[in-house]
Homo-oligomer: A and B are copies of this chain.
Amino acid sequence: MASSPRTAPPSGALNRRLADSGLRSTPQRELIYDVLLRKRDHPTADEVFVRVKTEMPTISLATVYNGLETLVQCDLVRAVNFERGPTRYCPNLRPHAHFHDERSGATHDIDLPPALIEHVKAILPPEYRAEAVEISFRGSTSR
């Protein structure tokens, strides 16, 4: 493929994080990340694949899975699991919980106050060292 000069600077955060991990920036990874940033509705890998394919028809599903995993490793994206459903992806890096609305199927972010995170971690006996805490709600919204 002939290389063309860049017309726009690459996404700063993505390139920096990739480089920090010894990984390369690629059009596929940039597009996957961009798609996540553009519509923050917690899409599944399949949904990301569909969105990305409209702009890059040759991309493969395996690359979408690989790319999403890469973004998760770089701490640019969070993988969100709910019960047995497919993994969903979320570019919100603030500490937050997830609310799964059973009526609409939508997932909403709920900001977590730092004090609450501390409260939650405080219930662990001292020999338990938590690297991560996940909080998720299931229910419905009245609007």
Which residues of B lie under 8 Å from residue A135 when comparing CB positions? 120, 133-135
CA distance A51 to B130 in the complex (A): 31
Which residues of B lie under 8 Å from residue A119 when comparing CB positions? 116, 119
CA distance A127 to B137 in the complex (A): 13
Are B123 and A110 within 8 A (Cβ)?
A: yes
Which residues of A in the span 4-31 have a Cβ within 8 Å of any Cβ on B? none
Chain A count of residues within 8 A CB distance of the other chain:
37
Chain B residue with Cβ nearest A140: B129
Report the minimum CB–CB distance from A86 to chain B (whole Å). 9
| A interface residue numbers (CB < 8 A to B) | 79, 81, 83-84, 87, 97, 99, 102, 108, 110-113, 116, 119-121, 123-125, 127-143
Q: Given A81-B84, A84-B81, is A137 in contact with B124 using a C-beta cutoff of 8 Å?
A: yes
Q: Given A119-B116, A120-B120, A123-B113, is A137 in contact with B141 using a C-beta cutoff of 8 Å?
A: no
CA distance A24 to B121 in the complex (A): 42
Are B141 and A128 within 8 A (Cβ)?
A: yes
